[in-house]
Chain A
């Protein structure tokens, strides 16, 4: 039996999933504030018990959001792989409890952030970020520009993933699958070109000029 192709993973953040759940209807300011509080809490609280509690909160948020599991678990797989190395290092350095705490804290925060972006339109997030960034006017930075930069970050994740996959395929086609340079160099060059083209496109649309 054939296996259907899956769309390339687009990163853990940045994709809104339409819905009518409680979290979808919650104001974006409240969700961002909640995420900030959660970040502070996991940074302050010590021990694996608090980390487990943070993960439970994140899982409950995920359930309440009614965003399909595959939307978030796909992203978490890559996060788990990266965080496992950090956890193992912490285990070796400070014991199993510290290692477990680090892994659970980071997974909980990534899951919460994913739920926030999956239940909030980027447009609404930009609105809040632009409002929050108003004080930056005093140091010469336009709030809209700051918000736009955050929006661009979200959009750049899937572009970076797709560019890397294309570079990997091109390297494979040339028999260079074992050469990291054959993937990294073209990916970096293409991302720089993409950044320049995006800058041109933003200027052409008159965005970021406020």
Chain B
């Protein structure tokens, strides 16, 4: 279970007039209990949804309040939290840190204290699970965008985290790869929290949070949440 208690995230912002930096609120205050298996977060660009996602594995720490994953505080037990919560970014290029898929997945597995042969076998199995077995030794930079996103997922899921947080994992993908990634996420055993602009994907979640101006303005049933979000966006254009 993920718990956010009275969480507030603030940041310094430069004064356009050249004066001293001032503090702005990016997110909160938010109190939440996330227990559902599939949770979607939707919101406009700059609304704070990525900040909310990053709070969940300690990439962003709250300025005040607490975020706990299975009772572990992200501020005090960040390392333990990150072992439980995997994170997938929009752009896989930043996430793939080794020259080939096999080596990148093996890098994730280094923290499991496996022997090199066991690590190699586990890495190949993870790649096979994501349909990348025949690309295991190809240069990562020649994979297609969809294959790179699958590799990013394979690298994160190889260590079997309890929770997977994805920040717009399909935004850069075409329809075919979007479907592949969505189906894959739907089939995972883990609790999955997805930040998305894809309202069809959001509608398939168990619970949807709508974020606007750093606040959760709707939390609940997917159909109602998507309708609320559409109305919110239509209103902002009017």
Contacts and interface: CB of A to CB of B under 8 A. Distances in A.
Interface of A: 7-8, 10, 14-16, 18, 121-124, 126-127, 144, 148, 151-152, 154-155, 158-159, 162, 194, 197-198, 200-207, 209-210
B97 interface: yes
B156 to A, nearest CB: 7
Contacts of B224: none
A155 B82 contact: no
Contacts of B142: 7
Contact of A206 (B82, B99, B119, B141): B82
A113 B79 CA distance: 35
Given A144-B110, A205-B155, 7 more contacts: A15-B100, A16-B99, A122-B103, A158-B141, A159-B141, A201-B95, A204-B89
B39 to A, nearest CB: 18
B164 to A, nearest CB: 11
A197 B100 contact: no
B206 interface: no
A204 B139 contact: no
Given A123-B116, A123-B119, A203 B82 contact: yes
B140 interface: yes
B139 A10 contact: yes
Contact of B107 (A16, A18, A123, A203): A123
A205 B161 CA distance: 10
Contact of B94 (A122, A154, A162, A194): A194
B60 to A, nearest CB: 10
Nearest to B165: A204
Given A206-B83, A207-B107, A151 B139 contact: no
Nearest to B138: A15
Contacts of B116: 123-124, 127
8 contacts: A121-B106, A122-B98, A158-B139, A197-B91, A201-B87, A201-B97, A205-B156, A207-B97
Interface string B215-232: 000000000000000000
A18 B136 CA distance: 10
Nearest to A18: B137
A155 B94 CA distance: 10
B97 A198 contact: yes
Interface string B92-113: 0111111110110011101100
Q: Which of under 10, 10 to 19, 20 to 34, or 35 or more describes the interface residues of B?
A: 20 to 34
Contact of B96 (A7, A127, A155): A155
A179 B202 CA distance: 45
Contact of A155 (B83, B97, B155): B97
Nearest to A130: B110
Nearest to B141: A158
B99 A205 contact: no
B72 interface: no
Contacts of B59: 200, 203-204
Contacts of A15: 99-100, 139
Nearest to A157: B99
A145 to B, nearest CB: 12
Contacts of A7: 139, 142
Contacts of B96: 155
**Which are the 7 A-B pairs with shortest beta-carbon distances?**
A197-B94, A204-B87, A206-B82, A201-B95, A122-B103, A123-B106, A158-B141
Given A152-B97, A194-B93, A206-B111, A10 B137 contact: no
B66 interface: no
A10 B141 contact: yes
B27 to A, nearest CB: 17
B139 to A, nearest CB: 6
B57 interface: yes
B172 to A, nearest CB: 13
Contacts of A151: 97-98, 103, 107
